[in-house]
A and B are shown apart, each in its own frame.
Chain A
Amino acid sequence: GPKVLQIPSHQIIDMGQMVTLNCDPVSNHLYFYWYKQILGQQMEFLVNFYNGKVMEKSKLFKDQFSVERPDGSYFTLKIQPTALEDSAVYFCASSLGQGADYTFGSGTRLLVI
């Protein structure tokens, strides 16, 4: 079936540096999401994005976080600057509409050292 591609699969970065996580969503999907999962724990909602705008974000979506999807290219999550507590697996998802099934990527494992 259709897939969400996340690049890179792993990223190690020094604390304080900037990182960009890339997501190539399903081509006809309109809603995009980022979730954060610390090892063995729950999937935590970060943000969703539709029509070029952030529609909703959680308390975990700190001021250092930003998202964009310029000109229908990758849907990106940027963290600047990174902190140790940002270490987690970040999952991108997309859906055709509200309430529709999500298609998830395989995640980007981020380690901040």
Chain B
Amino acid sequence: TQTVSQSDAHVTVFEGDSVELRCNYSYGGSIYLSWYIQHHGHGLQFLLKYYSGNPVVQGVNGFEAEFSKSDSSFHLRKASVHWSDSAVYFCAVSGTGGYKVVFGSGTRLLVSP
């Protein structure tokens, strides 16, 4: 059974700050790790995904995430946030042999001007 843990329910930063949103997972086999963003009143939008290779993956709008097998983590980072980055961010994991994606509980990012 795969599980995803997002330890921070809320993160508040100022525009221009860097931010890291934390994600830890547990799963016994090969997995895909993803991040999605949900703006208020909308569905989830795909940001980036890791399966293998370079542990640092680049996504849209300056986001990147780094996979760490030793820490079972896949933290999302952005060097300089904009107010429009305010949203809920979901980390997700799926097994390569399975059909479903399991989402974390989400981290609400608030970027103050």
Contacts and interface: CB of A to CB of B under 8 A. Distances in A.
Interface of A, secondary structure class, is: strand
Interface residues of B, number: 24
B99 A56 contact: yes
Contacts of B86: none
Nearest to A43: B103
11 contacts: A33-B101, A42-B104, A42-B105, A45-B101, A48-B99, A48-B100, A91-B44, A98-B97, A98-B99, A102-B44, A102-B46
A85 interface: no
A77 to B, nearest CB: 15
Contacts, number: 58
Given A42-B103, A42-B104, A99-B51, A105 B98 contact: no
Interface of A: 4, 31, 33, 35, 41-43, 45, 48, 50, 55-56, 58, 91, 93, 98-99, 101-107
Nearest to B90: A43
Interface centre among A42, A50, A106 (most CB of B within 10 A): A42
Contacts of A55: 99
Q: SS class of chain B's interface: helix, strand, loop or mixed?
A: loop
Contacts of B34: 101
Nearest to B101: A102
**Which of B34, B41, B44, B98 gathers most chain A CB within 10 Å?**
B44
A99 B100 contact: no
Nearest to A3: B43
B77 to A, nearest CB: 20
